[in-house]
C-alpha cells in the first residue's frame, strides 16, 4: 500500500472546542498526510490531548470538522461518530497519555480484546463460539497469531501471559501501542508515548515508529514532549499553544521559529533564562 | 513517621510492652465507669459501689491480651516474609498451583454433589439444604456475569429471580404449561427484563448504578405486592405444579390413567423421591449454567465483559460497542437468574413477594464478592458457607445473624480479594510448564 506523499489522510478544519468559558482549542486547522509521522507539540495545557479526544469521538467539537479520507469508505466525518465507531469504522486508533490497559488481563488478552470486532463477527453472536465451530476456531487462531507477531516485534513475547497491570511502566506503554496496532489502524494517534521512558526505551520507540511508518506505511499522529523523539521521527510538526496553531513545518523549520521559542518560554521570561531555554528546544534533537 | 512504620513490622520486646501498657491504660480509663463503678440498690436509694478488684483483672487481661496479639501478629508476619523470601516459585508456578487447587476443589465438589443424596437418601433436611445451596450457586453464577465479569454492581438481581418464578407460576397455573415448556420462555422473559433495566442505566457507573438497580428490584417486588389480579398480591400464587420425571409424577396416588414415579419403577412411595429428583434437577441446571458461563468467558463476549470491568474508555478506544456489551451482560445474567426462579417456584409450589426481598439480592451479591469476583469455584464455596453458617447457627437462636456477620467480616479480613481471587487467563500464548508435554501431545 504505497500512497503518494501528497495525499491528505485527515484534515482538521477550523476546529474549536470550548469547555464553558475555557477555549481549549481555538479555530485550529491542520492537515495530516498519509503514510507519514505528524508530530504535535506544545506546552502543557495547550490542547493537544483535547484534539485527540475530539478526533476519536470522546469529545464533540463545539464547531469545525474532522474529515478522514478513508481509502475504502471515502470521506468520513469523524466528529459525527461515537468513539467506538471512530476506532472500528474509521480505523483511527489512539493510546492514552495516562496508560489505559486492562490491568488484570494478560498482555495477550489485551491484544485479543483489541480484535474484538473481528472475533465477535466470527463467533456469530457467540453461537459458533459456544460450539467451537471451525470458522470461529480459525478466527481465534489468526487473532492469536497476529497478537504474537506484534508481541515479537515489540519484544514482549516473554511477558505474553503476565497480567498487564503488574508490569513496569515502560513496558505498559509498549503494550498499549501493540494493542492499538491490533485494532488494525489506518491512523495511529499516540499521546505522549515516550513519557516516563528512559533514554534507551525512547530510542527503541524511535525505531518502532520509523518502522511502522517507513516499512508498513502507517500514518501516525504523535503528541510528544520528548524532543529527542519528536524531532527525529516526525516528517512534519504542528505546534499548538493555547489551543491555536502557532507554527507548522519540518522539524528544522519549527525548531527555529521565533513563535515556537516564545511559546515554550512564556513571554515574561528574562534574557538569560530565554537563552537557556532556546538551547533546550533547539538542542533537543541531540540526546 | 518511618520509625513507626518500621516498628509495625516487628516490634522489639520493649516496644511491645510499651504498646500493651498504652492499650491497658485506655482499658483502665474506659473500665473505671464501665467496670470499676457499679450502682447498687441501697435500701431504696441508689448507691455506688467500687469493684477495683475486677477492674484490675480486666486491665491485666487487656494488657496480656494485647501483648499476645502483637506477638502473634509479628510471628505471622515473619513467617509470611520468610515464606516469600524462600519461595523461588515463579509466577507461572504459582498460577498453575492455584489452577490445580481450583480444579481439585471442583472435582471434590462435583463428587460430593453427586453422591450426597445417595448417602443421605432418607435425610430430608440434608437434601433440602443442599438444594438451597445449589439454588444460590446457580444464582451466584448468574450474578457473577454481571458483577464479577462485567463489573456492573447490581443490587436488584432478585428482580430477575422473581420474574422467572412468577413467569413459571403464571404460565403453569393459568395456561397449564409444563416445567420444561416454561423454562426457556421464563428465561427469555427474564432476559428481556435485563435489557429493559439495562437501557436506562447504560451511562451510570458504580454507586449510581447500584442505587438504580436496587430501585428496580424494589419496583418489581412492589408491583407484585400491589397488582393483585395479576400476581395474587401479598398472598402470592399457590399450587404451582411440580416438575415431573419424563411425565411421571411424584404422587402417592396418581390421577386416573397416569402413572407415578414410584409405581412405574415398582418402588414403595416415598416423599423423598421428589426431593432427590429436585436436587438432581437443580444440580443439572447449575452444571449447565457453569459450562455455559465458563465457555462464554473464553469467547469474545466474555473477554469484552472483563475488559469493560477493567476500563470502559479503553474499550471504546478499541472500537468496542460498550452498549451492546453491557446489555449482553445484563441479559445473560438475568436469564440465568430467571432459570433459578423457575426452579424455585417449581420446588416450593408456592411463591409470594416475600421470597424476593432485597436481602436475597444482598446474599447473592455477598456470595459473588466473598467467592472472589469472577471466580466460578469461589461462588460454590461462598454459597455453601453462606447457607450453612446460619443453619449451623440455628442453636444460637438470635445470635445467628451475628455469627453470619462475623464470618463475613473474618473472610474479608483474611482474604480481601475473596476466597478464590485467582484469575485464570482465558487463553495463553505458552501453555503452563507442568502441562506443556500433555498439551503438546494433544495437538
Ligand atoms: N473535560 C474537560 N473539561 C474542562 N476542561 C478541560 C477538559 N479537558 C481538557 N480541558 C482543559 O483544556 C485545556 C487543554 O488540555 P489538554 O488538551 O489536556 O492539554 P495538553 O496539551 O497538555 O494535552 C486545559 O486547560 C484543560 O484544563
Ligand atoms: Mg495531554
* Chain A nearest C-alpha distance from B145 (Å): 15
b/e B323-358 (16+ beta carbons within 10 angstroms → b): eebbbbbbbbbbbbbbbbbbbbbbbbeebbbebbee
d(CA A11, CA B379): 53
Q: Is the Cβ pair B429, A160 closer than 8 Å?
A: yes
User: Residue B322: CB partners within 8 Å, gap ≥ 6?
Assistant: A84, B202, B308, B312, B315, B316
pLDDT at A278 over 50: no
The model's confidence at residue B319, banded by pLDDT at 50, 70 and 90, is very high
The 3-state DSSP class for residue B332 equals helix
Q: Is the Cβ pair A87, B318 closer than 8 Å?
A: yes
Cell of B172: 403453569
Q: Is beta strand A22-33 parallel, antiparallel or unpaired with respect to A219-223? A: unpaired
The model's confidence at residue B440, banded by pLDDT at 50, 70 and 90, is very low
Q: Which of A143-152, B77-86, B163-172 has the lowest mean pLDDT?
A: B77-86
What would the mean pLDDT of B83-96 be, rounded to a whole number? 64
Q: Which residue has the higher pLDDT, B11 or A135?
A: A135
pLDDT at A37 over 90: yes
Q: What is the pLDDT of residue B16?
A: 86
Q: What is the pLDDT of residue B159?
A: 94
b/e A199-234 (16+ beta carbons within 10 angstroms → b): eebbbbbbebbeebbeeeebbbbbbbbbbbbbbbbb
What are the backbone angles phi and psi of residue A114, rounded to the nearest 5°? -65, -20
Per CB-CB distance under 8 Å, the chain A contacts of B303 are 105, 109, 112-113, 116
> Average pLDDT of chain B?
84
Asked if A187 and A91 touch (Cβ cutoff 8 Å), the reply is yes
Q: Which domains does chain A have, with CATH numbers?
A: 1-91+185-287 (3.40.50.300), 95-184 (3.40.50.300)
pLDDT at A272 over 80: no
Q: Could you tell me which residues are beta bridge partners of residue B47?
A: B40
pLDDT at A150 over 80: yes
What would the mean pLDDT of B316-340 be, rounded to a whole number? 95
Asked if A23 and A17 touch (Cβ cutoff 8 Å), the reply is yes
The model's confidence at residue A189, banded by pLDDT at 50, 70 and 90, is very high
pLDDT at B441 over 50: no
Output the residue whose Cα is nearest ligand 1's atom 23: A49
d(CA B378, CA B98): 12
What are the backbone angles phi and psi of residue A222, rounded to the nearest 5°? -125, 115
Q: What is the pLDDT of residue B85?
A: 67
Q: What is the pLDDT of residue B233?
A: 86
Q: Is beta strand A244-249 parallel, antiparallel or unpaired with respect to A219-223? A: unpaired
| Mutation pick for ligand 1 pocket among A45, A191, A238 (CB with most ligand atoms within 8 Å) | A45
Give me the interface pTM, i.e. the ipTM: 0.88
Q: What is the pLDDT of residue B437?
A: 44
b/e B61-86 (16+ beta carbons within 10 angstroms → b): ebbeebbeebeeeeeeeeeeeeeeee
What would the mean pLDDT of B256-271 be, rounded to a whole number? 71
Q: Which of B172, B173, B159, B303 is nearest to B221 (CA)?
A: B159
Rounded percentage of chain B residues whose pLDDT exceeds 70: 89
Pure H helices in B199-321: 206-226, 228-231, 261-264, 271-297, 300-310, 312-317
d(CA A256, CA A235): 16
Given A101, A112, A117, which is nearest B427 (Cβ)? A112
Longest dimension (CA), chain B: 92
Q: Could you tell me which residues are beta bridge partners of residue A247?
A: A239
The 3-state DSSP class for residue A39 equals strand
* Chain A nearest C-alpha distance from B315 (Å): 8
pLDDT at B243 over 90: no
pLDDT at B326 over 90: yes
pLDDT tens for residues B376-397?
Answer: 899 999 999 888 887 877 777 6
pLDDT tens for residues B122-172?
Answer: 888 899 999 999 999 999 999 999 999 999 999 999 999 999 999 999 999
Give the atom of ligand 1 at the shortest distance from the alpha carbon of A59: 1
Q: Is beta strand A22-33 parallel, antiparallel or unpaired with respect to A8-19? A: antiparallel
The 3-state DSSP class for residue A68 equals strand
Amino acid at each position: 500500500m504505497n500512497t503518494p506523499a501528497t495525499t491528505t489522510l485527515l484534515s482538521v478544519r477550523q476546529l474549536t472546542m470550548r469547555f464553558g468559558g475555557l477555549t481549549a482549542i481555538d479555530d485550529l486547522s491542520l492537515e495530516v498526510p498519509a503514510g507519514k509521522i505528524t508530530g504535535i507539540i506544545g506546552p502543557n495545557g495547550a490542547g493537544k490531548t483535547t484534539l485527540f479526544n475530539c478526533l476519536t469521538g470522546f469529545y464533540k467539537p463545539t464547531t469545525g470538522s474532522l474529515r478522514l479520507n478513508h481509502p475504502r469508505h471515502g470521506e468520513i466525518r469523524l466528529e459525527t461518530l461515537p468513539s467506538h465507531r471512530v476506532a472500528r469504522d474509521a480505523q483511527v486508533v489512539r493510546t492514552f497519555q495516562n496508560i489505559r490497559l486492562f490491568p488484570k488481563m494478560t498482555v495477550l488478552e489485551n491484544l485479543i480484546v483489541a480484535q474484538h470486532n473481528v472475533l465477535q463477527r466470527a463467533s456469530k453472536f457467540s453461537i459458533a463460539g459456544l460450539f467451537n465451530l471451525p470458522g470461529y476456531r480459525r478466527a481465534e487462531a489468526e487473532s492469536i497469531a497476529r497478537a504474537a507477531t506484534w508481541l515479537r516485534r515489540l519484544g514482549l513475547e516473554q511477558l505474553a501471559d503476565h497480567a498487564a497491570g503488574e508490569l513496569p511502566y515502560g513496558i505498559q506503554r509498549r503494550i498499549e501501542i501493540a494493542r492499538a496496532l491490533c485494532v488494525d489502524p489506518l491512523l495511529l494517534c499516540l499521546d505522549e508515548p515516550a513519557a516516563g521512558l528512559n533514554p534507551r526505551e525512547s530510542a527503541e520507540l524511535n525505531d518502532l515508529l520509523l518502522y511502522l511508518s517507513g516499512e508498513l506505511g502507517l500514518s501516525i499522529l504523535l503528541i510528544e514532549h520528548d524532543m529527542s523523539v519528536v524531532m527525529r521521527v516526525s516528517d512534519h510538526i504542528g505546534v499548538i499553544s493555547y489551543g491555536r496553531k502557532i507554527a507548522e513545518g519540518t522539524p528544522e523549520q519549527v525548531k527555529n521559529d521565533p513563535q515556537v521559542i516564545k511559546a515554550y518560554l512564556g513571554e515574561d521570561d528574562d534574557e538569560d533564562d530565554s537563552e537557556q531555554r532556546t538551547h533546550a528546544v533547539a538542542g533537543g534533537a541531540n540526546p | 513517621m518511618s520509625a513507626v512504620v518500621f516498628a509495625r513490622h516487628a516490634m522489639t520486646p520493649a516496644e511491645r510492652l510499651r504498646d500493651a501498657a498504652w492499650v491497658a491504660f485506655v482499658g483502665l480509663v474506659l473500665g473505671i465507669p464501665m467496670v470499676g463503678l457499679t450502682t447498687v440498690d441501697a435500701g431504696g436509694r441508689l448507691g455506688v459501689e467500687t469493684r477495683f478488684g475486677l477492674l484490675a483483672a480486666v486491665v491485666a487481661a487487656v494488657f496480656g491480651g494485647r501483648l499476645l496479639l502483637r506477638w502473634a501478629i509479628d510471628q505471622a508476619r515473619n513467617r509470611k516474609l520468610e515464606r516469600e523470601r524462600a519461595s523461588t516459585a515463579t509466577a507461572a508456578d504459582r498460577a498453575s498451583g492455584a489452577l490445580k487447587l481450583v480444579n481439585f476443589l471442583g472435582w471434590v465438589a462435583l463428587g460430593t454433589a453427586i453422591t450426597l443424596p445417595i448417602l443421605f437418601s432418607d435425610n430430608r433436611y440434608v437434601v433440602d439444604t443442599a438444594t438451597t445451596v445449589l439454588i444460590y450457586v446457580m444464582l451466584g453464577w448468574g450474578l457473577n456475569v454481571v458483577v464479577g465479569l462485567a463489573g456492573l454492581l447490581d443490587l436488584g438481581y432478585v428482580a430477575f429471580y422473581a420474574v422467572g418464578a412468577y413467569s413459571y407460576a403464571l404460565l403453569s397455573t393459568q395456561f397449564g404449561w409444563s416445567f420444561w415448556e416454561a423454562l426457556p420462555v421464563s428465561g427469555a422473559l427474564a432476559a428481556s427484563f435485563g435489557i429493559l433495566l439495562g437501557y436506562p442505566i447504560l451511562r451510570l457507573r458504580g454507586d449510581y448504578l447500584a442505587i438504580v438497580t436496587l430501585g428496580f428490584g424494589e419496583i418489581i417486588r412492589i408491583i407484585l405486592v400491589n397488582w393483585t389480579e395479576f400476581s395474587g398480591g401479598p398472598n402470592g400464587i399457590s399450587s404451582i405444579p411440580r416438575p415431573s420425571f419424563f411425565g411421571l409424577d411424584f404422587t402417592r396416588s396418581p390421577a386416573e390413567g397416569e402413572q407415578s414415579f414410584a409405581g412405574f419403577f415398582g418402588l414403595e412411595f416415598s416423599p423423598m423421591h421428589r426431593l432427590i429428583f429436585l436436587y438432581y434437577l437443580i444440580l443439572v441446571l447449575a452444571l449447565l449454567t457453569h459450562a455455559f458461563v465458563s465457555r462464554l468467558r473464553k469467547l469474545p463476549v466474555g473477554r469484552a465483559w472483563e475488559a469493560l470491568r477493567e476500563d470502559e474508555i479503553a474499550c471504546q478506544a478499541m472500537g468496542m460497542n460498550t452498549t451492546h456489551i453491557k446489555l449482553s451482560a445484563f441479559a445473560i445474567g438475568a436469564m440465568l437468574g430467571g432459570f433459578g426462579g423457575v426452579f424455585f417456584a417449581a420446588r416450593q409450589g408456592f411463591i409470594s413477594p416475600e421470597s424476593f426481598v432485597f436481602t436475597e439480592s444482598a446474599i447473592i451479591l455477598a456470595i459473588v464478592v466473598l467467592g472472589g469476583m469472577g471466580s466460578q469455584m469461589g461462588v460454590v464455596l461462598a454459597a455453601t458457607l453462606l447457607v450453612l453458617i446460619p443453619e449451623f447457627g440455628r442453636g444460637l437462636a438470635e445470635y445467628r445473624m451475628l455469627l453470619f456477620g462475623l464470618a463475613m467480616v473474618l473472610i474479608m479480613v483474611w482474604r480481601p480479594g475473596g476466597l478464590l481471587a485467582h484469575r485464570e487467563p482465558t487463553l495463553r500464548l505458552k501453555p503452563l510448564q507442568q502441562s506443556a508435554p500433555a498439551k503438546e501431545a494433544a495437538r
